[in-house]
Structure 1
Amino acid sequence: MKVLIIDDEKHVRDGIRLLGDWEDNGIGEFYEAENGEDAIHLIQEHRPEIIFSDMKMPKMDGTQLLEWIKANHPKSKTIVVTGYDDYHYMRKAIHFGSYDYLLKPIDPEILNQTLKNAVEEWKKEEADRKSKESSYQMINEMKPVFRDRKLTQLVSSDSIKDELYKELGFQLSQTYMVALMRMDGKTIESFQGDRDLAYFTILNVINEILMECDCGIGFRYLSSKGEIVMIYWNKLDQIEDRLSQIHQTLKKVLNRSCPIAIGEAVTGTAGLLQSYQHAKQVLLSSNLLERKEKRVYGQDAIQIISPKSLMSYSSDIEGAMMAGRIEAFDDLIEDVTNDFTEDRYLSLKQLLHFENEYQVISNTWFKHYNLPIGSSESIEKRIDPYFDAEGTFNLEDYKKRIRREISVFLKKVKKASKQKGNIIHEIEKYLQSHFDRDVKLQEISDHFYISREYISRKFKQELNVNISDYLVRIRMNKAKSLLKNSDLKIYEIAGMIGYQDDKYFRKVFKKVEGITPNEYRDQSSEK
């Protein structure tokens, strides 16, 4: 296997190369680039399986490079290297399919775990690709699969032989329109999990209706999971009525609503991909919260709304995590819900993006607490159970699932924390290390990302003393040690333990110990 490291800073490239367990992961070839333009040349020449990329680079930045990789070398696993606060770049990385990201400075353990996961994922996908290629070769002559493959190829590249059109049942025309139907996991379940039987049944219904008017053909779109594409070449003015008929018939057969989106009219077969992509945007823009008997969407389904990002709530999530209670997340879940579903509108695109970011953030926190990350479900498997038979998304049940997952995670963190010592012990250590200056409660709150009220209450509960008195106790113990074991002046000792005014120090010392510093020193000398 080959790896490419892209960063304009040589020491970062050297660091990644030095820290990685390359041999253990079967990587034998290394390439380096200082910017995106150089990286593209190396990718085209060597086709690396694993790519590490910085986001801030000259000539072509990481965002542009990730977009190019997604379009031209999608099989590779890209790991973004970025600064902690660069959430803008993290969002871009997620959008363009980055496998994971590393924060600078790079932690060797996290680097190698991420590398191992990326290699394993690439090998798994490569095995799947080879298995599918083998399967397609075996059933190439089976008419339905052969048709699906060739029509998928037609939409994607316009490169099938002319003599195949008639054999496939496809008619040439000047103008075409593409419609797209999404088939979710629950639809497959209604066929006892037999995906092939589900496609066969649904396509029989679709093509029987389309053959009656000799206006189009439907097929399984093999380039995207769970999609059926219909190409119309005739009676385009009746397409919505025909799709409504298909939708209603399938709803009776399946007892489920399968959403259908209509793409724009295009000229010639070369425009089929454009019409498909437009239909996909329509489908992704459909409002999942809307109760609708007929889910056939046209151009009016597209709404121009600024995308919402869960990454913008990172500081709120961090604060709730540090509080360690599920109740701390309740208001946050509601705030995110209100933000993401403004005017009771939630698009499929927004939901998929939320789930993607949610999994990235979840995995980050699992790594933060050194907890094992379970086998992650696909995004489709996570959201499909929350669509009812009418195709409406059950937002409340979905929120309950998120809350349950967070609650389970917090319990795991709490259990792990008992073994490692709780946060109050960490605050004790902090105070012991900074006793020589005036440590404010707000400083502790900012440092540990916990509210001042929680720290004050919890500290008093566990140690039976408030923070200011605890700090005085540390200082007095240090002062007594210096009085016993050194010839330092009283004002020198006062300065060393955080008191600029030695008179005030003498006053506090006498209040706590019952005698003055000089008297304490004299008594210690006599002993």
Structure 2
Amino acid sequence: MYKVLIIDDEEPLREAIKILGDWELHGITEVLEAENGKEGLEAVRVQRPDIVLVDMRMPKLEGPEFLQIVESEYPDLVAIVISGYNDFNYMRQAIKSNTVDYLPKPVKKAEINKALSVAIARLEGKRKKIKEYNERNMAINMSLPMLKQHTYFSLIEKKFNIQTIKANLAYFQPDYANTSLQVILLRLLNLEKIAVTKFNQELDLLHFAVTNVINESGEEGIACYSFVHPKKQSDIFIVLTHKGNPSQAAKYEAASFIKQRIKKLEELIGIISIAAIGPVYPDPFSLNESYKIAEQIMNTINILDRKELVFNEPDEQAKLKMHSLTPKAPLMRHALEHDGRGIRHSIIKEYMRTVELSGYLGLGNAYRNQEELSMLLYDIALELGVSSEELAQVKGWIGADFEFKDAAEFERTLMLLVDRYGELIATVLIWKKAFDVNEIKSYIDRFYFQDIKISLFTEKYFISRVHLMKLFKEEFGCGIYEYAQKVRMEKAKELLNDPMLQIQVISELVGYSNNHYFSKAFKNYYQISPTEYRARQSDNRP
């Protein structure tokens, strides 16, 4: 997947490029914009696009200087130059900077997509070489920890070839036949929060720190190896290897060892965690059974009364006390539709009172309720007219704010969910009452000669740019900038019938400050230049 940045000081041209580019065909998933060279350079440094389409004459930082800087700082960035000037110095800098193409304005669909194809081919060639290099290194440098992780996870998932697993165990643990194994499941309850506050959102670095603390030398006769659950980043697998068949005292020492590690994680890193201990098995091929019991224990931990750090047995209450928010769906829909923040909160509070009166809420049940509420709110939002594009932002909400370590924090996460969906739904409902897409058309009909900015309407009606342009196209059969271009060209045609008006004046009257660009735009639209059109009209007059 690739990311593109368009840099041009003319918004209509940026929109034209966005309309003309076959982005999905080229595997381009994100198209960014900047209105001058300085802003474009900042976007390159922050957003790190793969391809940049850049104008050569811009305010603040011109194209040639921009290309010189990115060539030095970002040699892998692929550039396509778009310019209305055939200046030799511009072309020379473009060639020197190894740009893919030099396209004249106004841009044409075939030209821009051909240039994008060449740019993508160049990027894929580079990526292929990097991939081949990395694969060679990986094959050469596969480490012992990686072999351990692969072997243990295969045993935990019960997806393995027996001969391969035996060969792996014999390689890193020659006496494995004389050992017993068990799985301990460690749950990091504030992973996202610590990643943000202490590790600059680098989860890999945080995981490395956590496993390093756990893997320190443990009790005599116990070997410890830990690694991150590949499918759930808040979970850490800890595999303990005991010599021979451990006694009850050795099993107790394992619990003591894990408790010490949990306390050390909080002391050194700030991580709050709990552990569920699976039973010991003398056969390494029973590691899956140890894990399943550890997972069962973890899911039944009572978050209303979580006094311990380490748990050895599942809570029997889990079989009898299950809670759900699904019956509250009709009432929640009513609250969201009428912006009833107090009602929303009372639904959550009533649910939590029921939970507290029962005296039990299993950790697994709490996670399911959180997911259940999120899906319920998502469906209600869709029914009330929130677009799937706008709901996509919900994915960004699930993070540090939705972690919890006890009942109070769990309740807070539910409140946050209903409030954030409530705010989104309320915005859409207000917009539905106030917005009329015909207003945009009327505005363009009156002010076609001005710089038409989409932000004028998105800010007025609190609507996303993508959704606004979609509504306009559904109503009028073309995009906003396409319609503005149509109005300008029709008005230009009308003004050209007056021989007293100079073409330079007409270009200004229809919103073009540059006569050269107006002439090109007119010819591109009508397949005839303004001068030729006027001459033809003059010949047809009696």
TM-score normalised by L of structure 2: 0.47
TM-score normalised by L of structure 1: 0.48
